[in-house]
Structure 1
Amino acid sequence: MTDVEQSSGNIYADLGDDQADEMNMKAHLATALGQIIERRGWTSPQAASVLGLPDAQLSNILTGNFRTEDAASLVHYIARLGYNVQITITKAAQPTGSGCVEVVSAAPR
Structure 2
Amino acid sequence: MHSQAANADAPHNNQSTKPYKGRAVEQIYNTYCIACHMSGVAGAPRFGHAEDWQPHVDKGIEVLLEHVITGFKAMPPRGICSDCSDEELLHTIHYMIDQSQ
Higher relative CO (CA 8 A, sep ≥ 6), structure 1 or 2? 2
Question: Where is the helix percentage greater, Structure 1 or Structure 2?
Answer: 2
User: Normalised by the size of structure 2, how large is the TM-score?
Assistant: 0.32
Larger Rg, first or second structure (1 or 2)? 1
User: Normalised by the size of structure 1, how large is the TM-score?
Assistant: 0.31
